[in-house]
Structure 1
Amino acid sequence: MNKKILSVFIDESGDFGKYDPKSPYYYVSMVLHDQSVDISDEIKSLEERVSNYGFPNHAIHVGPIIRREQVYKNELMENRKSLFNALYHFTRKADIYYLCAKIDKGECEDSEIAYIAKISRAISDELKDNIDFFNSYDLIINYYDYGQNNLTKIITTVFTTLFNNVELRKVQPADYKLFQVADLICTLELTKDKADKNELSNSEKEFFGSARDFKKNIYKNIEKKKLHK
């Protein structure tokens, strides 16, 4: 009998630095894919679209696309939206799910230790709420780029405390489309929380429209991919 294997692609938005009211949140997204489910056609289609837009073998970074930064600084809005839509519609169509743990750093003591404790609890709570789902797999493989050492330790500790069938693998973002989806999820969850408070930046308003437009046209479809217990 073949093993049931779950891939978990993990990305973060935020840091462990001193609390900044302009950037108070920390998000950890976990994109879930049952390895027995073939999504190769969707991946091939995404790769072709991104290559046709002039970005072969490219890891899409959603935040810089919205803000017109880094490699996207000279790209027209039309081109940036095409790249965003390629990853967005891939996420909608692929047979995957996600969880997103989040904290407001302003709600805890302004220290790295306090942030670590609260983020650990937030991730643990998301996993515990869906414990039967995770326990249905023989092996859980976590994919992370080791971008933040503290988060690497948190992921390792929380998952191995709850499960005895976990592996952690380092990834290069360009090699895994689902890691790029994890980046997308972090950005959209953050944007949704900002939209709820009418705090969208000018770049976000230019890219998505109003807070209502974003929630109706973008977030509503992505939220359907959230794993529910």
Structure 2
Amino acid sequence: MRELSVFIDESGDFGETRDVRDYYLVTFVFHDQDNDIKDNTIKLENSVKESGLDIEYIHAGPVIRKEGIFKEYSLDERRQLLYKMFNFVMKCPINFCTVAIKRKEANDRVQLSGKLGKAINAMLAEHMDYLKGYDKVIVYYDNGQRELGSILNAIFSIQLYNVEFRKAEPQKYRLLQAADFLCTIDLLQIKRDEKRLSKGEQQFFYKPNELKKTFIKGISKKRI
């Protein structure tokens, strides 16, 4: 029986936005269960430990912005962590896609829910031939935002008869962390294109064109 896992992460929230330039992103990571990633996961975890870093969850945004537990880490250490996740993503047999909603077109919960539903529905329809090649589709989401969880449940259930939903913690699933990483890079691509990277983001990616040539170009090879 062919089984597909879909790991989902989002950037943004359903509250009213204070900046019309904001976006709401949802990233979907697709993993064929016939393709084992155990070795990739072990290599990532060993690499983190060998660096002397005690990190269970490589949370890309806070790593870049030096937030939370990552406040105690130097720029070099945080860059090491992001590159380790980047290498993990690039070596894993996975694909992904992201839907993005402009908040200036969806400034409240109702509008955002409607636009997200349509965008996710269109994404599934576009890749339906691929999805129908599997006997079972398991969707992993941490239910961090109930509105998004409800939308995902409704849309996937309508489109696919063989879908199952599982609540998952990012600390336990490296591919949820991969979805977080990919979502973060896609948001950074938007901000870079619009010339509004924050000072902290610019300081993190201090090498000329590093963000574009390494990260943005790199993950483009993984788009479904």
Same fold by TM (over 0.5)? yes
Tell me the secondary structure at the aligned position of residue 167 of structure 1: strand
Q: Aligned runs of 1:75-154 on 2, under 5 Å?
A: 75-108=73-106, 110-154=107-151
Aligned to 2:212: 215
Aligned to 1:184: 181
Q: Aligned runs of 1:144-183 on 2, under 5 Å?
A: 144-183=141-180
* Distance in structure 1 (CA, Å) of the matches to 2:84 and 2:139: 24
Tell me the secondary structure at the aligned position of residue 20 of structure 1: coil
Could you tell me whether the CA contact under 8 Å between 1:156 and 1:168 is conserved in 2?
A: yes
Tell me the secondary structure at the aligned position of residue 183 of structure 1: helix
What is the Cα deviation at residue 210 of structure 1? 6.8
What is the Cα deviation at residue 128 of structure 1? 1.2
* Distance in structure 2 (CA, Å) of the matches to 1:51 and 1:195: 32
Q: TM-score, normalised by structure 2?
A: 0.96
Could you tell me whether the CA contact under 8 Å between 1:195 and 1:211 is conserved in 2?
A: no
* Distance in structure 1 (CA, Å) of the matches to 2:206 and 2:7: 29
Tell me the secondary structure at the aligned position of residue 57 of structure 2: coil
Amino acid at match of 1:4: R
% of aligned pairs identical?
38
Q: Deviations over 1:72-118 (max 9, x none)?
A: 1011111101111111100011110001111001023x321110000
What is the Cα deviation at residue 55 of structure 1? 4.0
Could you tell me whether the CA contact under 8 Å between 1:16 and 1:112 is conserved in 2?
A: yes
Amino acid at match of 2:90: R
What is the Cα deviation at residue 51 of structure 1? 2.1
Pick which of 69-78 and 120-129 moved more. 120-129
* Distance in structure 1 (CA, Å) of the matches to 2:117 and 2:206: 34
Aligned to 2:22: 24
Structure 1: any 5+ residue segments left out of the alignment? none
RMSD: 1.4
Could you tell me whether the CA contact under 8 Å between 2:140 and 2:168 is conserved in 1?
A: yes
Kindly report structure 1 stretches of 4+ aligned residues shifted beyond 6 Å: none
Amino acid at match of 2:74: L
* Distance in structure 1 (CA, Å) of the matches to 2:177 and 2:222: 15
Aligned to 1:52: 50
Tell me the secondary structure at the aligned position of residue 174 of structure 1: coil
Q: Deviations over 1:171-201 (max 9, x none)?
A: 1111100000010011000000011111111
Gap change, CA 1:22 and 1:39, over 3 Å in 2: same
Number of corresponding residues: 224
Aligned to 2:59: 61
